[in-house]
Structure 1
Amino acid sequence: MTIAAIVMAGSRPGPDPLLTGSGASTKALLPVAGQPMLVHVVRALRASPLVGPITLLAQNSAELAAEPGLAGLADLHFSDSGQGISSSLAAALPDDDAPVLVTTADNVLLTPSIIAEFLVGAEDSDVAVAMVERRVLLARYPESQRTWLKFRGGWWSGANLFRLRGRRVLPLLDFWGRIERDRKKGLKIIAAFGPWLLLGAVLRLFTIQQGIARAGLRFGLEARVVPMSEGEACIDADKPADIVLIERIMAGRNAS
């Protein structure tokens, strides 16, 4: 069995400093190590035997479909999205409860091994989120700057990989649409799930696994954190320094 994948490849409102002087019209097509970000991500998905059809979501999907680096890759589908992440994703979900794998166009260091580790850990969940604990990342890449969620037993950063069980997650996506503007503000996100979850996070009364599980219960969902063993899983291309680090990692991969 394979899982369908969705790649969120749209642009957020407002200017993106990464695009200044680059000549790229959208972040997904910004070159990294000689290829647009999106090409690296789609090729990693296509190289995984666990991934089936791939849908690319963007405000102007025809622009992505014209990218030469995607030519010849099987089972790619292009769909226009709206302005919001949650509403666009909700519209792209299957008509039933079939699971989908979701990632982003800036998840440039994605590999088949990262995909496999995540999907094994996410199996049978309604919602699964890939995350990297700070010690795992800093052991290899101490210069990497991420946004950390602090819980009992560790500090965690998201890895832009999600497994969603089809339309069962629509209430969660509707909720996320109301708070996604605060996606980089960890405590605001936690507070939106209720005062008990916020208090527990501030006082570190529970682990992130317990916190995510409790958040899922609010929507009747079995929600799970999948801890990733490779620090690269949470290094996405948000800042110029990220791209420098990503290109160094890619050069090392090619050399080996």
Structure 2
Amino acid sequence: MTSPIGVTAILLAGARPIPDPLARAAGVAVKPLVPVAGQAMISYPARVLADHPAIARVVVLTQAPELFAADPQTAWIAEHPKILFETSGNGIASSLLALMDRADQTFPLLMTTADHVLLDAAMIDQFVDEAAGADIAVAMVERRTLLARYPQSRRTWLKFRDGWWSGANIFWFGSAKARPVIALWQDVEQDRKKGWKILAAFGPLALIGAVLRILTLRGGIARIGRRFGLEARLVAMHQAEACIDADKPDDVVLIEGILAGR
């Protein structure tokens, strides 16, 4: 399949209310400015996204755009003609909805995070090719793919009939049909006590299937999509590095080793 041209990439570069341990240890204001192998971590995914031919523009969502413009290591991001900053709201979902509702915004959207330091063009190629045509897609890595390359890496795994899966922090919103799912996500962000209502919205079969491990992840995602009247798709990433983000000091050490070998 040929990758669609004109994708808007959304790069999440916000800060949580609680100070980030990596940022505090590095003496920087926000986590995306934490140095990894001599560069602010956000520089890696920002450059890969800006250089990719399928990406028409990159929108950096953050509460404090001025921090990146003022930092010598990230000033280039603020000056890049393909990149623009948008001030994010109280949560990711609400900020995403506001962006989707703008008159000048077109689909599809690809969303990733500033700590996705190992993101590369091959990952974008695979994800965009396999997500194209879906209303929502999510990138995941199966445990055997990661452990075959990096047995020392520790991730959070979801167990399904077709394996153990970890998120790769790459998401696809192919049409406005994705809006109700994001609105549901917004409800979770605003009131986590509504969790049982959110689970109920996905339907008892999907919930029971996940608990009893009788669903494949691919089939479960497709079924949830049908529940919302849209096409939802799993993209099983080929590269183990797709699920290694710079979240903990051990991650940074591993990532720097991988970068040194590239």
What is the TM-score with the length of structure 1 in the denominator? 0.91
Give the Cα separation in 2 of the matches to 1:24 and 1:36: 10
1:116 to 104, 110, 125: 125
Letter in 1 for 2:94: S
1:244 to 234, 253, 257: 253
Return the offset for 1:97.
Answer: 5.7
2:228 to 209, 216, 219: 219
Residue 77 of structure 1 aligns to a residue whose secondary structure is: strand
Letter in 1 for 2:80: L
Letter in 1 for 2:118: L
Structure-2 residue corresponding to 1:232: 241
Give the Cα separation in 2 of the matches to 1:192 and 1:134: 28
Give the Cα separation in 2 of the matches to 1:103 and 1:188: 27
Give the Cα separation in 2 of the matches to 1:27 and 1:192: 34
Provide Cα deviations, 1:99-140, integer angstroms capped at 9, x if missing partner: 111111011100011100110110100001011000000000
Structure-1 residue corresponding to 2:94: 87
Give the Cα separation in 2 of the matches to 1:37 and 1:236: 10
What is the TM-score with the length of structure 2 in the denominator? 0.89
Identity %: 52
1:63 aligns with 2:70: no
Structure-2 residue corresponding to 1:197: 206
Letter in 2 for 1:134: R
Structure-2 residue corresponding to 1:74: 81
Structure-2 residue corresponding to 1:103: 112
Unaligned runs of 5+ in 1: none
Structure-1 residue corresponding to 2:153: 144
User: Given that residues 184 and 198 in structure 2 are in contact (C-alpha distance below 8 angstroms), is that contact kept between their aligned partners in structure 1?
Assistant: no
Unaligned runs of 5+ in 2: none
User: Given that residues 50 and 83 in structure 2 are in contact (C-alpha distance below 8 angstroms), is that contact kept between their aligned partners in structure 1?
Assistant: no
1:10 aligns with 2:17: no
Give the Cα separation in 2 of the matches to 1:68 and 1:119: 32
Aligned CA distance change for structure 1 residues 196 and 170 (closer, same or farther; 3 Å): same
1:39 to 19, 23, 43: 43
Question: When the two structures are aligned, how many residues end up with a matched partner?
Answer: 250
Give the Cα separation in 2 of the matches to 1:155 and 1:181: 29
Give the Cα separation in 2 of the matches to 1:212 and 1:233: 19
Letter in 2 for 1:76: I
Give the Cα separation in 2 of the matches to 1:248 and 1:56: 27
Letter in 1 for 2:47: R
Return the offset for 1:16.
Answer: 1.3
User: Given that residues 97 and 167 in structure 1 are in contact (C-alpha distance below 8 angstroms), is that contact kept between their aligned partners in structure 2?
Assistant: no
Give the Cα separation in 1 of the matches to 2:10 and 2:258: 25
